[in-house]
Structure 1
Amino acid sequence: MGAIDQLIGLVRDCVVQVRGTTDNGGDGGFRGSGFFIAQDTVLTCAHVAGDAGDRVTVRWRGRGIDGVVRRASPRAGRSRIAPYPDLALVTVSPQWQHPVVLLDDHLPNSGTTLAVAGHAQNYGSEIVGVDGRFTFGGLNDRMIRLNGDEITPGMSGAPVLDGATGGVCAVTKATRTVHQPAGGGVAVPVRGLRHLLDCTSSRTLWDNHDRYHRCNRRWTNLADRLPPPDGGIDRATERELIATTMRLPADPQPQRHLATYHRIAGPVTPEPQHPLRDYRDVVSELAVLVDPAESLPYPLTYAIDLARVAEPSDVADQLRWWVVRVAARLGLSDQVEATLAHPPDGEPPPPRPTPSVMVCIRPVTRTSSRYRYMIWRYLDETDAPQVAADQRPAPLERVYQRLRELLPDLVEQTAGGEHPTMIEFIVPFELMDEAVDRWPVEPGSSRSIGFGLRHPVVVRALDRFDASPGTGRYWRWERRWGALDGRDMAAALRPLACTERPSPEQMTAMLQPDDALAALLLLPYPVRHPAAKVVLDAGVAEGVPVMVWRRRGCTGAPDRPHDTCRGRQLHVAVRDALRDTRREEVPERVRRIRYTAVIGGDDDHCGNDIVLLWDDPGRRPTGSVLVSPNERRHLHA
């Protein structure tokens, strides 16, 4: 029996059934598959296991044991479609000595043979073990496309073995999608766990996983017998590097891992599609990049970089020894010695985006007076997990009440580092004047201040937020945002006169010729004014990314002077605040206008009611939605 056949046997022995419980009237029925990834820890799909805190029964080798869902990504709302990553971790009572799969935090190479082992219900009611053979068919968004055998209901949550590396690289999620050949399906890569776990939880899980395989070498020994890749660093050598880096203390600012990745891989390297929580994540991402033609392989450069600053010193010595051994094997000893002797001048890492709490309020229908909300914690382009949601339609005031209760803790928990956490409200036109900046940071406290004094608060256009990349609306938005890059925002300001009443055609004609000229609009009148709706509608449609107005703006009466009116006051305050300001700094400058109003004690100051629409197209929480075999029936019911 070859190594790959033995590995498939090891995978089968780690697979479990995930079932409901009979508590509180539950039916205890079969839900899907899962598998052990650490002692007493099962990985499966969220749509199989349920929400965090739910109880399930895990069956392994014919025996059942109680389990609790410890972590789970948000499940589907009324649509019954589970968003990415659709993963859950189940903890079982410590009664069994069981095997653990060898996880592989890499995507398969093109055409790689993959194997799936899970459970399914046969033509009767019996639950049986099933296997499938597939090839890697590329990516469907961030999902692995499986081409080959059929994915049947019950296989959701089953492990996917990479035949080239000998590790489990993914979790089976769904049957085949549209435009996919007959048979097959999709799977969530193991690196999707990075969306489920914070740095501390991720390190704990991987420590437990790695400890098992240090003590039980059968799986890694079989994997190491598989043919190695042509050149480069093999998986066993990469595991040695990861084991050494994990002796380093966790970085108290994990966002620096992304900055390090950019510094090592270069500024033109595509962004990782998953967060970088720890050193091992950086190694995994760098290991799959094509080695630079005239430089060291990226993992070698990273190990050298870590060795220069590593504490304790014995870890630094281990990193240097790893570098020397690998360089000798690859014929790069002279180049490595020169690099170690003459460290390059450090380049400053790219600036980190401002972290934020994103709140989306969406009407049930365009004419509905009932709403739903979703909340994300945005840290960067690859790390914007959903942290709260309520898909039950509710009156607007009830939604606002719930958000006032949730926001203080969510904002406090979103570390801002050198920047205060921003609050982004993604809302339809009619909700843009809600005074979120005046909601109390500490509800119930007599000394509580409004969010707008402590944090930048912006609104964003729901219609544009829903635009898909590649569409005309998204392209115009992205183009105008790009036109602001590096510009002085005061020079980009286009104020409208209080008495201007442009028609939709006039607004469109004004905005189209010059992207940069009309990248920042200032409206003198309040959003409820008929002229404001024309300007906002045209601005959103034509991609204007920044607009400013007052909730109590000038009404534009033609028989009154407007040299000192509220619209003129807003123009002067915004123009002065934005001098020598870049586009990323606008929310903070508007926050300063707000606290200038409080310091001056002027009730009519524009800082008391200023509204900023600030729409960066790069700040979008992402999520893939695919239909699992168990979910499909709900879509056709």
Structure 2
Amino acid sequence: MSAFQRIVRPSLARIVEPGEGYDQHGDHYWGSGFFIAPEWLLTCAHVVGKGGAAVWRSEQAVGVVWQGGTATGKVVLAKPRPSVPDENRSRWELPDIALVHVPDAREAPCVWLSERPPSIPAEISLHGWSRETGDLGVRDGLGQAQAHDTRTLLLTGVLPVAGVSGGPVVDRESGAVIAVVKGVGRREGVAVPVTALRELYDLPGGDVLHTVLREHDRHHLRRYRDGGSDDWTRTQLELRTRGMPGLTPDLRVHLYGLLAELPPPSGPGEVLDLVDKVKSRVLADDYRSPIEPDPRTWREGAGLLHDLPDIQGKAKPRELDLDAVLLYAAKVARHTALTRRDTAAPDALRDLADWVTYRSEMARAPIAEEIGRALAPILTGTDLTGTDLTGTGLNGTGLTGTGLTGTDVQSPPAITVRESRGQARADVLVEVGDPDYGGRYPWSVKLLFDGRDVSPFDGDDSGVPRSLLRKTLRAPLADALRHGDSGENLAAVEALLPRQLFDEPLDAWRLIPDGADEDDYDEWDPPYMPLGRRRVVVIRDRRRNGRDAIPEWRRLWNAAADGPLAAVPLRDEAAVSGHGPSVRRESKPAAFGRLMGAERGSVPVYCGHVEHGDGFAAMSTALAAGHPLALWRRNGQNHDDCQEFHHRAGRFLAKVGSAAGLRDRIQELRVHASTPELAADSGWAAGVAFLFDPPDRPPYGTEAISPPPMES
């Protein structure tokens, strides 16, 4: 029996019908699965789907048999999942995974889950139960993982047979489970990378995965410390070339066990923010992967710091790994102490800081010094502002020590990491192109870093009708926001739109899951609130951002940035007489001259729509005059309150003072406008939209997105 067979088999389970299915010679066998944490088993959704409606009602309807015994479990998370329990599915789309809770399997040994996407090509083994030879038994096979995309892994050399679906795929070099066997394609085996677990986090109840992976890492650290010969960490050490630098399996199991004791990250953006800073420091370069990863745990952040490219040519292979991972762990500890004082256990923080400090002797000197500075506040019992974290000091001695702040640390520029506080990792840029092909709008979603660098995230050049924009963009926009948010700092949404879409109520969109009914989700539940209630949502003009900025645009932006701000009517007659059909309209030349000559810091204001008719013409005139800011009301059908609207808007603009002040107050104004108790003061702003369009904001006149050319 190989090393992998020896350590996999105790974790391997066959999935059966409860009762008669426990008999190895019976006919009630469904497929395979494996334990990833005590009480928690991973398999394919199509395997447990053989149990019918009872499974999807989350009853104890899944029979589980493993070396340690038999038990029943229930499906807690699955994707896909039938819309109703009685639905019969003939096709199981990706990721085709299910998480099963088996309460009576507390002592079941668990596999080691990889914390990173699979490396290709890779020598692999796959394991499961099968009746291929007639009798039900364990089936092991050796092969290669030859190709993968973000959702599947293609296997050659060995093809999964009936019954093996749901079993683990092991990377024989790293000694980690990298995928779940799904089935057979036309010529290759098909598996689902374990990184697909991330898709379950976004389902209702998906936060339970934080508990599962915490128990996974605790389990493996406990088994390693117990000193047995059949644990995964020792097997991984045997595979590793003696003396090879980098993060060894024994260091990794200790680090991940310590990280597991911290409160989990709020989303991928919080992890990636720290990863980006570590890469920038260790590589001495603003290196960012062209493919945006999706880590949901601290351990996955460490996994992204393996095999870093040595851009400067100053380190030996794998030497950067240890520098990067230790610095990352120090930043996680520091960040947690700063942002989670009420939920982080002081002992857990201190244990992590002690371990990283001790191991930092293995890092290069500049990195070790930086780690020491990052962890000093925790080790001395103070936070970053010098305040005692516990009342007695984290070390339990009553000594608070001296807190360190960014200005206290005096260090050479070469070893200083810039820590940005109070801002999101990235803002989200939603770009919609001009329509073509019968009114289809091409779209893209991008991440905007530091207001400077744009990274593509998702998109569709073939486009969709306007009526489907909200439905189509909800999922990619929600995903991008998770990558942009960093802890309590939420990403803003900048919508780069054609002018005929300026009244699209983007700030009122709710990012509920695809196929769900908005009425099933509480509009005061933060993930499903209207966008503008939680975060800044502004509009930018797509047409002029496709060209070099005109001088008037720069001049008016500089004036707005300096402040103060003052309202100027977008349509001169609307501020007094409204915008009804009988009102005499200002001519376009007159409006252009008036808006060009408006005083510094003027912001065009309008009480009606701007994506068609007179409002459209007036907005186009204001943009031609170079105005970077504007405020209008999408729901301005009522023409008898325009004078009050303009007056209130003018008072609001005078109060915010500058362009930055306006941006900071947009979300607050929308919240107040939707609050009945504040309607008397802020009700005027219901349905308000904002143009906030600086001239030096990407995409800097980039190539317009448009549908692909028609085939001839």
Name the TM tier (shorter chain). 0.5 to 0.7
How far apart are the structure 1 equivalents of 2:323 and 2:212? 27
Q: How does 1:588-603 map to 2 (within 5 A)?
A: 588=667, 590-591=669-670, 594=673, 599=678, 601=680
CA gap of 1:346–1:456, structure 2 versus 1, over 3 A, is: closer
**Counterpart amino acid of residue 117 in structure 2:** L
Paired residue for 1:348?
A: 419
Q: Distance in 2 between matches of 1:521 and 1:173?
A: 58
Residue in 2 that maps onto 1:512: none
Partner of 2:263: 250
The aligned runs of 1:166-315 (5 Å cut-off) are 166-173=175-182, 175-176=184-185, 182-190=187-195, 192=197, 195=201, 196-197=206-207, 199-215=210-226, 216-218=228-230, 219-228=232-241, 231-243=244-256, 245-246=258-259, 249-250=262-263, 256-266=270-280, 267-270=286-289, 273-278=293-298, 280-291=299-310, 293=312, 294=314, 297-304=320-327, 306=329, 315=352
Q: Residue by residue, what CA displacement relative to the aligned partner does 1:204-234 show, whole Å, maximum 9, x if unpaired?
A: 3421343244434324333222243995415
Provide, for residues 470-522 of structure 1, a one-character-per-residue CA deviation record: whole Å limited to 9, x for no partner: xxxxxx7997799999x78979x999757799xxxxxxxxxxxxxxxxxx998
SS in 1 for 2:523: helix
- Taking structure 1 as reference, are residues 275 and 522 closer, same or farther at Cα in structure 2, changes over 3 Å only? farther
Alignment CA distance shift 1:6-1:477 (3 Å) = farther
Q: Cα RMSD over matched residues?
A: 6.0
Shift of the 316–64 alpha-carbon distance from structure 1 to 2, 3 Å rule, reads closer
Residue in 2 aligned with 1:606? Answer: 684
Q: What displacement does 1:601 show? A: 2.0
Per-residue deviation, 1:113: 0.8
Q: Name the counterpart of 1:14.
A: 11
Q: Distance in 2 between matches of 1:338 and 1:188?
A: 35
Q: 1:16 to 1:590 in 2, by over 3 A?
A: same
Report the CA distance between 1:140 and its aligned residue. Answer: 1.1
Q: Distance in 2 between matches of 1:379 and 1:609?
A: 23
Question: Aligned partners of 2:523 and 2:67: how far apart in 1?
Answer: 46
Query: Residues 587 and 131 (structure 1 numbering): CA distance in 2 closer, same or farther, change over 3 Å?
Result: farther
Distance 2:485 2:151 in 1: 14
The SS at the match of 2:75 is strand
CA distance in 1, matches of 2:64, 2:235: 28
Aligned AA for 2:213? S
Q: Deviations over 1:271-311 (max 9, x none)?
A: 75223423x33322212433553476253244256569676
* Correspondence for 1:380 among 461, 482, 485: 482
Aligned match of 2:36: 37
What per-residue deviation string (whole Å, max 9, x for no partner) do you get for residues 131-154 of structure 1? 444323343125434344334554
Give yes or no for contact 2:155–2:190 (8 Å, CA) kept in 1.
yes
Cα displacement (A) at 1:185: 1.7
Contact 1:549–1:610 at 8 Å: present in 2 too? yes
* Displacement of 1:119: 3.4
Query: 2:166 — aligned with what?
Result: 157
> Which residue pairs with 2:355 in the alignment?
318
Q: CA deviation at 1:7?
A: 0.9
Preserved contact between residue 158 and residue 171 of structure 1 (Cα < 8 Å): yes
In the TM superposition, residue 390 of structure 1 has moved relative to its aligned partner by 7.9
**1:161-209: CA deviation from partner (whole Å, max 9, x where unpaired):** 0011122122223544xxxx82122322247358354545532342134
What is the one-letter code of the residue matched to 2:523? L
- List gaps (5 residues or longer) in structure 1: 357-364, 393-398, 415-420, 425-436, 438-451, 461-475, 502-519, 537-544, 619-637
Alignment deviations for residues 349-388 of structure 1 (CA, whole Å, 9 cap, x no partner): 37226999xxxxxxxx9999xx99988698622899x997
Does residue 1:402 correspond to 2:480, yes or no? no
5+ unaligned residues in a row in structure 2: which ranges? 21-25, 49-54, 281-285, 335-345, 374-409, 429-464, 487-509, 562-566, 582-602, 620-627, 700-712
1:597-637 Cα offsets, whole Å, 9 max, x none, are: 9757269x63134357999999xxxxxxxxxxxxxxxxxxx
Change (3 A) 1:582 1:233: farther
| 1:525 to 1:241, Cα distance in 2 relative to 1, 3 A | same
Distance (Å, rounded) in 1 between the aligned partners of 2:82 and 2:657: 42
User: Once the two structures are superposed, what CA deviation does each residue of 1:402-454 show, in whole Å capped at 9, x if it has no partner?
Assistant: 34xx333x32xx5xxxxxx9633xxxxxxxxxxxx9xxxxxxxxxxxxxx5xx
3-state SS of 1:223 partner: helix
1:540 aligned partner = none
Q: Which amino acid in the other structure matches residue 222 of structure 2?
A: R
Question: What residue number does 2:636 align with?
Answer: 553
Partners of 2:273 and 2:425 within 8 A in 1: no
Change (3 A) 1:581 1:127: farther
Letter in 2 for 1:70: V
The one-letter code matched in structure 2 to 1:225 is E
Q: Tell me, what secondary structure is at the counterpart of 1:192?
A: helix
Matches of 1:489 and 1:191, distance apart in 2: 49
CA contact (8 A) 2:58 2:74 kept: yes
Structure of higher RCO (CA pairs closer than 8 Å, 6+ residues apart): 1
SS where residue 660 of structure 2 aligns? coil
Superposed CA offset, 1:1-49 (max 9, x none): 7xxx3313432443222235589xxx99544321122333211234443
Give the superposition deviation at 1:83. Answer: 6.8
1:612–1:80 distance in 2 versus 1, CA, 3 Å: farther
Residue correspondences, number: 502
Which whole-Å CA distance do the structure 1 matches of 2:216 and 2:559 have between them? Answer: 46
* Residue 141, structure 1, aligned to residue 164, structure 2: no
User: Is the alpha carbon distance of 1:133 and 1:458 closer, same or farther for their aligned partners in structure 2, counting shifts above 3 Å?
Assistant: same
Q: Is the 8 A contact 1:496 1:521 kept in 2?
A: yes
- Paired residue for 2:443? none
Residue 258 of structure 1 aligns to a residue in which SS? helix
**Residues 164, 355 of structure 1: CA spacing in aligned structure 2 closer, same or farther, 3 A cutoff?**
same
Tell me the TM-score normalized by structure 2.
0.54
* AA in 2 matched with 1:163: R
Which one of 79, 94, 103 corresponds to residue 113 of structure 2? 103
Stretch of structure 1 that moved more, 98-107 or 605-614: 605-614
* Contact 2:58–2:76 (CA under 8 A) maintained in structure 1: yes
Hey, what does 1:59 align to over in structure 2? 65
